[in-house]
């Protein structure tokens, strides 16, 4: 999978087509729509083309900039004006094919961004609050996998220290047993540089299983099953073959069970 797009991350968000107003809608009516729906902004559309964004911020800004408003008599007269007088014509719009990282960049500076075809009718409006939720979903599995790996590293180091064994000596024996033909499977000499395949090899190898892990972990089979699952899911998520928010409950729950299982050995 290539770069993550906005289309990728909004799947499953249950977003609906945004409520819009026309440039000639009265400000009074637009404010009523915003208030009753809890909106902080409304896209302004004419003939299925985006003309800008109406927001509380744009209303105040345009009132400050437009000297014509000074000649209006009272707030009641202002409320009868068309929203075109208060619209931000430079409102940022992105397409579904744009990078999600561009979305994060824009929503750091803007309260909301319109999603749709360039110059066309908006398909969605994503607020900076929505963007935070997207980021949280994307990071959920990343963080869980990192927590599991940190726990495993801590357990391995503690077990080596408790048994008074030297990692380098064990790794040297394992690599010698693997032989030159299996050079690509040789283990690094520090736990920090180990991959998930390395963890599996290190834990289940005869040089380390009996003295270090046989009384701790249930069986070699359980170690291989659990850690192979984490390895495969990590590779899918970290290389964006799967997006974390598209994973099923069973996958998330299994990660949770593995984390709880490892916690027993800390």
Q: pLDDT tens for residues 190-248? A: 999 999 999 999 999 999 999 999 999 989 999 999 999 999 998 887 766 666 666 77
Segments making up each domain of the chain, as ranges: 6-120, 137-263
Strands 122-127 and 49-55: unpaired
Burial of 183-213, coded b for 16+ CB within 10 Å and e otherwise, reads eeebbeeebeebebebbbbbbbbebbbeebb
- pLDDT tens digits along 32-48: 999 999 999 999 999 98
Pick the closest to residue 236 from 145, 148, 164 (CA basis). 145
Distances (CA, A) of 185 to 47, 128, 172, 176: 63, 45, 13, 11
The total of other beta-carbon atoms located within 10 Å of residue 68's CB is: 9
216 CA to centre of own chain: 35
Tokens representing 174 are 């394992």
Classify 6-120 by CATH class: alpha beta
246 compared with 78, residue with greater pLDDT? 78
Tell whether the model's pLDDT for residue 77 goes beyond 60. Answer: yes
Give 73's contacts (C-beta < 8 A, 6+ positions apart): none
Give first-to-last CA distance, the chain, whole Å: 36
Helix (H, G, I), strand (E, B) or coil at 80: coil
Pick the closest to residue 66 from 42, 44, 83, 46 (CA basis). 83
Distance CA(255)–CA(246), nearest Å, equals 15
């Amino acid at each position: 999978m290539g770069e993550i797009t906005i289309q990728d991350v909004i799947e499953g968000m249950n977003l609906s087509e945004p409520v819009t107003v026309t440039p000639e809608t009265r400000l009074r009516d637009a404010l009523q729509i915003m208030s009753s729906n809890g909106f902080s902004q409304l896209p302004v559309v004419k003939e299925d083309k985006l003309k800008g964004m109406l927001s509380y911020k744009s209303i105040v800004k345009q009132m400050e900039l437009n000297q014509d408003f000074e000649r209006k008599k009272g707030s009641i007269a202002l409320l009868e004006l068309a929203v075109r007088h208060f619209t931000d014509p430079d409102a940022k719009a992105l397409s579904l094919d744009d990078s999600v990282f561009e979305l994060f960049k824009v929503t750091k500076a803007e309260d909301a961004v319109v999603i749709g075809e360039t110059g066309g009718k908006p398909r969605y409006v994503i607020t900076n609050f929505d963007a935070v939720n997207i980021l949280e979903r994307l990071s959920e599995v990343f963080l869980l996998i990192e927590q599991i790996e940190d726990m495993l590293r801590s357990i391995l180091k503690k077990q080596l220290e408790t048994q008074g064994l030297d990692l380098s000596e064990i790794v040297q024996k394992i690599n010698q047993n693997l032989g030159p033909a299996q050079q690509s499977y040789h283990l690094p000499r520090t736990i920090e540089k180990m991959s998930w395949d390395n963890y599996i090899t290190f834990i289940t190898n005869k040089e380390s299983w009996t003295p270090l892990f046989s009384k701790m972990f249930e069986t070699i089979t359980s170690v291989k099953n659990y850690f192979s699952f984490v390895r495969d899911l990590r590779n899918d998520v970290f290389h964006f073959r799967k997006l974390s928010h598209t994973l099923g409950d069973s996958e998330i729950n299994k990660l949770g069970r593995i984390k709880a299982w490892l916690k027993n050995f800390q």
